Amino acid sequence: MLQVSTIEKDFERCQKGLEKRGIKEAESLLNDLLNKDKNRKSLQQNLDQILSRSNAIAKEIGILFKEGKRDEADALKKESTQLKEESKKLNDSLQTTERELREHLYNIPNVPHESVPVGNTEEDNEVVKIEDSNIPELGSNKKPHWELIEAYDIIDFELGNKVTGAGFPFYKGQGARLVRGLVNYFLDKANEAGYHEVQPPIVINEASGIGTGQLPDKEGQMYHIDETNLYLIPTAEVPITNIYRDVILNENSLPVKHAGYTPCFRREAGSWGAHVRGLNRLHQFDKVEIVQVVKPETSYEVLDNMVAHVEEVVKSLGLPYRILRLCAGDLGFTSAITYDFEVFSAGQEKWLEVSSVSNFETYQANRLKLRIKKEDGKKVLAHTLNGSALALPRIIAAILENNQESNQIRMPEILRPYLGFDSIKR
């Protein structure tokens, strides 16, 4: 969530940033917030004064009682009772104001970074890099992965339908081993790059959802468990980043780098259709996530490092890819800047998003109350970043489609030690 102090100091930047996101009334919105905050402050001040007086009276009464001066004490009691009524009222309106302010802030997205292109749709995303020299020539008998997986019997949607429902496939045989191999490979790469591995819970509470910004904004995208008011994670970002909720980190313990593998669950309500066949969109999928908590002044350098790491992994699989800088309209709610990675899947002749690397600046940290204690004792909000490294299903789709031959699918060289086979055969 945005900080009121940032809005005060950097009004114009905030206004322009939000306008870039298509919020036309940004100026009045921000002014409204500032006014609410002013209101909050004055209420707080009045309340504090009354409480201060109450505390003084209570102390006096204590002393008077000890001295046996009942009458004087009784007079003070009356005043105190009166003050209490006043303070109750003030406290109520203070809490209302604070709640409104908070809710208001929750509903304002992050201010995009300067370099984020203007735009509303995917078309406006900026292609930063494209590496398409290795797009295969498949000729006339190329197949999309949903045909390949049936032909080789490695992923079974029907079985998933039976046991759970649409979007929950079974991976079988070499398909299951491919998933396991990829997860291991991705985790090994992350470890090599200095990310400390964690295996987080895949169910989170409400506070965690709010901390990273899934709640209250994207409530409908998560599976909810009513009995215990818990949510299935949509990404490992949530449990991993929330390790640092309500934490003050020493400056010298930064950067914090974590990697973790989890299944991810997304309801994807209403976003189904012909263009999301097969592995392109699922309710449950596997992903290795990388997360960093860093000093504000280093976060853009770190972002570049994370992009470079993801690029290295994608490249090592021999997949054609491109890197996009998302336009303001396509940018996630909590992100200041996001780079998407897409791989080209030659069977469908489509670019598929396989990773999203974002800098949230202080937006998440402010919600999380994640701060850094500097050498001089001053505290500042940390910057948080994360990226997929990588999400599996579309990587699998691209591997299958791009490496298909008439009677086998060759596996990328680098994966073979992880798989125990060189190609998928019938």
Partner RNA sequence: AGAGAGGUGGCCGAGCGGCUGAAGGCGCACGCUUGGAAAGCGUGUAUACUCUUUACGGGGUAUCGAGGGUUCGAAUCCCUUCCUCUCUGCCA
* Residues found near RNA in the complex (CB under 7 A): 37, 41, 44-45, 47-49, 51-52, 54-59, 61-62, 65, 76-77, 80-81, 84, 95, 228, 248, 371, 373, 379
Q: Which of 269, 173, 160, 184 is closest to 219 using CA atoms?
A: 269
Q: Pull the structure tokens for residue 177.
A: 């081993």
DSSP state of 125: -
Question: Residue 298 CB, nearest distance to RNA (Å)?
Answer: 21
Residue 28 is which amino acid?
A: S
143 vs 108: CA distance, rounded Å: 44
Sheet strands side by side (includes 350-361): 126-131, 321-325, 337-345, 350-361, 383-391, 284-294, 256-265, 196-198
Looking at the DSSP assignment, which residues form a beta bridge with residue 342? 322, 353
Question: Residue 49 CB, nearest distance to RNA (Å)?
Answer: 6
Indicate the pairing of strand 370-373 with strand 155-156.
Answer: unpaired
Question: Residue 16 CB, nearest distance to RNA (Å)?
Answer: 25
3-class secondary structure, 293:
strand
Cβ nearer to RNA, comparing 85 with 349:
85
47: Cβ contacts below 8 Å, ≥ 6 apart: 87, 90, 91, 94
What is the length of the chain? 426
Question: Residue 409 CB, nearest distance to RNA (Å)?
Answer: 35
Whose structure tokens read 């904004």? 217
Cβ nearer to RNA, comparing 13 with 59:
59
Cβ nearer to RNA, comparing 246 with 405:
246
Question: Residue 198 CB, nearest distance to RNA (Å)?
Answer: 18
Alpha helix segments (H runs only) across 107-246: 145-152, 157-163, 174-192, 206-212, 237-241
Cβ nearer to RNA, comparing 44 with 298:
44
Q: Count Cβ atoms below 10 Å from residue 354 Cβ, excluding itself.
A: 28
Question: Residue 80 CB, nearest distance to RNA (Å)?
Answer: 3
Q: Pull the structure tokens for residue 234.
A: 């949509």
Cβ nearer to RNA, comparing 65 with 421:
65
Cβ nearer to RNA, comparing 55 with 134:
55
Cβ nearer to RNA, comparing 90 with 182:
90
Angle at 348 between CA 344 and CA 351, to 5 degrees: 30
Cβ nearer to RNA, comparing 79 with 301:
79
Question: Residue 211 CB, nearest distance to RNA (Å)?
Answer: 16
Question: Residue 72 CB, nearest distance to RNA (Å)?
Answer: 12
248 vs 107: CA distance, rounded Å: 26
Question: Residue 95 CB, nearest distance to RNA (Å)?
Answer: 7
Question: Residue 216 CB, nearest distance to RNA (Å)?
Answer: 18
190: Cβ contacts below 8 Å, ≥ 6 apart: 197, 259, 288, 290, 309, 389
409 vs 416: CA distance, rounded Å: 12
1 vs 211: CA distance, rounded Å: 9
Cβ nearer to RNA, comparing 48 with 153:
48
Cβ nearer to RNA, comparing 140 with 228:
228
